[in-house]
């Protein structure tokens, strides 16, 4: 089962289908424009005044990237999926971490180590973590946050998911955010939650895998974005 928002599910679905898996697509998060669009519009208007822009997710790229990218501004992304979304939107030279595809990986980049006096803007969803901005400020940067999208629980209900679980059509669950797993649990009744808890969870980050374990799931931390998810699934079913 692929739980990504619909617009980001296609690449993983294609990779799974190419391996003769049967993807069951159930977006567990709805991505919507920000409650107040004015801050994003202001950020676009003065984007050329920044030294760097950081996009924390593919959603931040799709909802936050401007129509025209200023050539003098460096773009950073948390991983290859976000970088690919930016490239598709005309943003060139996107830099991604060399270590882990997350905040900690970004902070390890040399280009974000010496940032005293630099102006940096972080595009994210409403209610995102402040770790990245706090760390950059501690290094002397002037940091602004711009909320360019918001996450909501899907309003469509979980009838299709519940039926897939009852029919035994789900043998693995891919989760790319803790909030998605929380939404799934909240949308199902007790019996279907129990069925879901019997499905192994594959997550590309230790924080997400740890959250799944705390909820009682058997979770595999695959690392490595989509490639890690696919490798983790192949290894699991090979055993």
> Higher confidence at residue 95 or residue 158?
95
Residues 102 and 165 in one domain: no
pLDDT tens across 142-193, in order?
A: 999 999 999 999 888 888 889 999 999 999 999 998 999 999 999 999 999 9
Domain ends where: 125, 150, 175?
150
On the question of pLDDT at 194 being above 90, the answer is yes
User: Is the distance from CB of 196 to CB of 173 less than 8 angstroms?
Assistant: yes
On the question of pLDDT at 90 being above 80, the answer is yes
Tokens standing for residue 137:
């400020």
Residues 84 and 101 in one domain: yes
> Higher confidence at residue 10 or residue 136?
136
Residues 99 and 20 in one domain: no
pLDDT value of position 102: 87
Domain ends where: 100, 125, 150?
150
Residues 231 and 157 in one domain: yes
User: Is the distance from CB of 177 to CB of 205 less than 8 angstroms?
Assistant: no
User: Any idea which of 5-19, 56-70, 184-198 has the lowest mean pLDDT?
Assistant: 5-19
Indicate the angle between helix axes 6-18 and 225-238, nearest 10 degrees. Answer: 40
Q: Is residue 1 part of a domain?
A: no
Boundaries of domain holding 221 = 6-30+153-238
């Amino acid at each position: 089962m692929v739980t990504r928002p619909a617009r980001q599910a296609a690449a993983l679905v294609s990779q799974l289908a190419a391996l003769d898996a049967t993807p069951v697509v159930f977006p567990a998060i709805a991505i919507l424009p920000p409650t107040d669009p004015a801050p994003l519009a202001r950020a676009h208007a003065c984007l050329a005044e920044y030294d760097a822009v950081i996009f924390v997710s593919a959603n931040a790229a799709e909802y936050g990237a401007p129509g025209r990218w200023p050539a003098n501004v460096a773009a950073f992304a948390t991983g290859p999926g976000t970088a690919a979304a930016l490239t598709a939107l005309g943003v060139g030279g996107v830099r991604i971490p060399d270590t882990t595809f997350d905040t900690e990986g970004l902070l390890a980049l040399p280009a974000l180590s010496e940032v005293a006096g630099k102006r940096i803007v972080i595009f994210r969803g409403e209610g995102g973590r402040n770790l990245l901005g706090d760390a950059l400020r501690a290094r002397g940067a002037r940091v602004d946050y711009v909320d360019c999208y918001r996450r909501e629980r899907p309003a469509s209900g979980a009838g299709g998911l519940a039926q897939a679980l009852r029919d035994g059509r789900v043998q693995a669950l891919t989760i790319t955010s803790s909030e998605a797993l929380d939404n799934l649990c909240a949308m199902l009744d007790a019996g279907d939650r129990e069925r879901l808890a019997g499905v192994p969870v594959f997550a590309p980050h230790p924080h997400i895998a740890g959250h799944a374990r705390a909820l009682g799931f058997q979770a595999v931390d695959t690392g490595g974005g989509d490639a890690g998810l696919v490798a983790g699934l192949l290894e699991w079913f090979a055993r």
